Every structure is written in structure tokens, then in C-alpha cells.
Amino acid sequence: MKTQIFISLKILGMMILLLGIIYPLFITGIAQVFFHDKSNGSLLKKNGIVIGSALIGQQFDNKAYFTSRPSASGYNTLPSGASNLSLTSKKLHEQVIQRKKEFIAVNKLPSDQIIPSEMLFASGSGLDPHISPQAALLQVERIAEARDFSNGQKQKLKIIIENNTEKPLWNWLGETKINVLLLNLQLDEIK
């Protein structure tokens, strides 16, 4: 019994040193050298100020920006969170109807327009940075109007949507999507 306590403690001590200290610091070293930006949160900077992370979505209320998905945590990262509502939840059903109405109204779309479902349902992390290209295209007219864009500028807007569209990896892995924050950053660049 006594020997087992000592062996357990010694092995635990060595495991904590090896797996809890050496291993994570070793990986940190490799990551910091080879993937410096990525391992530090893929931060985005504008004029030297951190404006967010390319991985983390942001809330956009201004009509002149593309809107992100609904978020149960309001794009708060501390902590991340989802609605966890079920499909038999009245609350969820009302939310979806309400979001659909709002999306159609604010973008002046026909009332029978099909809205991509990611704009109607909240994400799992509350921080989803992506929407589908269709959801972005449906917002073009509204943004052009809010920004007083000429036809030429509107064309440019459609081009940046196309350029920002991320296809599935090797055409099979993942979804076709677009990063809202990166898109909005380029939107601000349209002159």
C-alpha cells in the first residue's frame, strides 16, 4: 500500500512535468516559431490598433456593413455560448420568424425571398465569423444605398464578395463561406 502511494506520486509528478509543462511549452515553441501569427490568435490590425481576430466574428448593427449571424452571446467571447434551444422551443420559433422579417425588411427583399438559414439561426459558439455568399449578396443593395455607392462601386462590392468567397478545401472538405469581418474591412476600402 505504502509503496503504491509513493510510486503513484512519483509517476504523477513525472507525468505532470512531462505532459503538463514540457509538452505544452515545446508545442508553444514550435508554434511561435513556425506559425507566429496564427498561434497568437490571427489578430487583425488597422493603424497599429488590434481590431479583432480573423477567426472571431463581430457584431455589425450599422446598415453600411454586412451583418453577421445571430449570436446567443452577442459576440461576447467571455465566455462563448449558444442558445441551446430545441426545435420544439416556441422561443426559437418566434426568434426565427422575427429574424426573417427583419432581414427581409432591412434589405428591402420580396416577402417570399428564401433567406439562407445561417442568418436565421444562432451559431454554436456565438462567435461564428462566416456567412454564406448568398447571404452576403442579399445585402448588397442595402449597403450600396447606405454608402451612396455609384454603379461602379457596386460592381466592386460584388467583386470583393467573389474574391472573399472561400471554397471547400480541395473541393470536398467544408462549406462555401465568407468571412464577414474580412469582407467589411475590404468594404471600407472601396473608394
Partner 1 sequence: MEILSTVLPFIFSLIIIAPFSGNYIYKVLDGQKHFMLPIFGKPEKGIYKLASVNPSQSMDWKSYCSALLMFNFLGFVILFILLLTQQWLPLNPQHVSNMSWHTAFNTSISFVTNTNWQSYAGETGLSYLSQMAGLSVQNFVSAATGIAVFTALVRGITGQTVKSIGNFWVDLTRSVLYILLPLSIIWAVLLAGEGVVQNIHPYVEATTLEGANQIIPQGPAASQIAIKQLGTNGGGFFNTNSAHPMENPTPFSNFLELFAILLIPVSLTFTYGKMVKSSKQGWTIFTAMFILFSAGLVISLYSEYQSPEIWENISYMEGKETRNGIAASVLWSEATTAASSGSVNAMHDSLSPLSGMVAMINIMIGEVIFGGVGAGMYGMIIFVILTVFIAGLMVGRTPEFLGKKIETFEIKMCMLAVLAPAIVILIFSAIACCIPAGLSGLNNAGPHGLSEILYAFSSAAGNNGSAFAGLNVNTIFYNVLTAAGMLTGRFGIIIPVLAIAGNMGQKKITPVSQGTFRTDSWLFVALLITIILIVGGLTFFPALSLGPVAEYFLLQNGTLF
* Interface of this chain with partner 1, residues 96 to 115, rule: CB under 8 A: 96
Is residue 146 part of the contact set for partner 1 (CB under 8 A)? no
Cell, residue 49: 490598433
- Which one of 67, 71, 103, 122 is in contact with partner 1 (CB under 8 A)? 122
Task: Print the binding letters for residues 59-98 with partner 1: x by CB under 8 A, - otherwise.
Answer: xxxx--x---x-----xxxxxxxxxxxxxxxx-xx--x--
The count of residues interacting with partner 1 (CB under 8 A) is 95
Measured between alpha carbons, how far is 27 from 31 in angstroms, rounded to an integer? Answer: 6
Tell which phi-psi region holds residue 38, choosing left (phi > 0), alpha (psi between -120 and 50) or beta. Answer: alpha
Closest CA to 66 of 184, 146, 189, 190: 184
Is residue 189 part of the contact set for partner 1 (CB under 8 A)? no
Locus of grid cell 444605398: 145
Is residue 16 part of the contact set for partner 1 (CB under 8 A)? yes
Is residue 168 part of the contact set for partner 1 (CB under 8 A)? yes
- Which one of 101, 102, 106, 124 is in contact with partner 1 (CB under 8 A)? 124
Q: What is the DSSP letter of 173?
A: B
